[in-house]
Amino acid sequence: MLWVPQKNLQEAQERLNRTLEFQKNNFAFFVCDKKTGMAIGQAGMKEIEPGIYEDIGIGIGENFVGHGYGKQILNCFINYLFNELNAKKIVCSCHCENIASEKLQKSCGLKYAYSKMYIRQKDGLCYRADYYEITKEEYLQRK
């Protein structure tokens, strides 16, 4: 992931404030382990155009990666957005070197759509993001 930990309490508070503001108009959740209730990650989606939703990331703590949480989360979003909100399309992206994220998206029925180059403002890192999509029609054909 391209996120970095905050260095001090002020940075953490600023990030928390931005996150809370973002959550007012988007789907952004903490992910908790059902057995323990412990927060193990975060996940979210936002509507980028009417009926079209894009992920804002699925982040799971390193001790919980590889246990199926990502697939459960993404499938929950897909089912909810298509069945409850009548979404037309869902778009997810990942850093081109994030093979686990690519496999996750494909395992949930998303197909490669395109790639886009980005430059991260805070440090000038140049990277490629690969985008995967699924339409409502494709979702219904999977059932």
**By the 8 A CB rule, do 65 and 75 touch?**
no
**By the 8 A CB rule, do 110 and 124 touch?**
no
**By the 8 A CB rule, do 61 and 42 touch?**
no
In angstroms, rounded to a whole number, what is the distance separating the alpha carbons of residues 18 and 10?
A: 12
DSSP 34-92: TTT--EEEEEEEEEEETTEEEEEEEEE-GGGTTSSHHHHHHHHHHHHHHHTS--SEEEE
115 contact partners, CB below 8 Å, separation of at least 6: 96, 128, 129, 130, 131
Which tens digit of pLDDT belongs to each residue from 113-132?
999 999 988 788 899 999 99
Which tens digit of pLDDT belongs to each residue from 2-58?
456 778 889 888 877 887 787 788 888 888 888 898 889 889 999 999 999 999 889
Instruction: Supply the pTM of this predicted model.
Output: 0.84
> For residue 6, what pLDDT is reported?
74
> For residue 61, what pLDDT is reported?
87
**With the C-alpha atoms ordered 95, 130, 86, 26, is the resulting torsion angle positive or negative?**
positive
- Domains in the chain (CATH in brackets) are 38-142 (3.40.630.30)
Element (H, E) at 30: strand 27-32
The type of residue at 132 is: Y
